[in-house]
Amino acid sequence: MSKFSLPSVKQADKPTVVPEVDVAALAAFAAGAREKALDLEQVERPWVQFSPDDPPKYNVSVRLNDHHLEMLRYLAKAHDTTQQRILRKHLVPIIEQLAEEAFEKKGKSA
């Protein structure tokens, strides 16, 4: 034995302490856990802190192949608007719909 090590305690020498369990407190804890389950009325959507009417301030890259890029260019020219406006007009409603569906689905599965 090294002069710096402590003597080992055998398993039989260790005192066993079994804490007392308050059954009523345990039942209350379990009931509170059930009540805390996800409820769609109680859980806020992460995007509610922002207004959908705020002006856009971020850009994202959308990777398109030549075929779809040319279609986007054609649409922008045909509607006498920008490619950005075409994408925003059609993508934002789809993004909102998919986000709501995903939030509803997550709430039902929890």
Q: What's the token pair of residue 30?
A: 């379990």
pLDDT, the chain, mean = 83
Q: Is residue 36 part of a domain?
A: yes
Q: Is residue 12 part of a domain?
A: no
Dump strand ranges (E) for the chain: none
User: Do the domain assignments include residue 4?
Assistant: no
> Who has greater pLDDT, 16 or 62?
62
Q: Is residue 1 part of a domain?
A: no
Domain-embedded: residue 27: yes
pTM of the model: 0.57
**DSSP secondary structure letter of residue 5:** S
- Report which secondary-structure segment, H or E, holds 34: helix 23-35
Structural domains in the chain (count): 1
Q: How far apart are CA 97 and CA 62, in angstroms?
A: 19
Q: Which domain holds residue 85?
A: 19-109
* Residue 14 lies inside a defined structural domain of this protein: no
Q: Residue 30: which pLDDT band, with cuts at 50, 70 and 90? A: confident
Residue 50's nearest CA partner among 84, 107, 99 is: 99
Domain-embedded: residue 6:
no
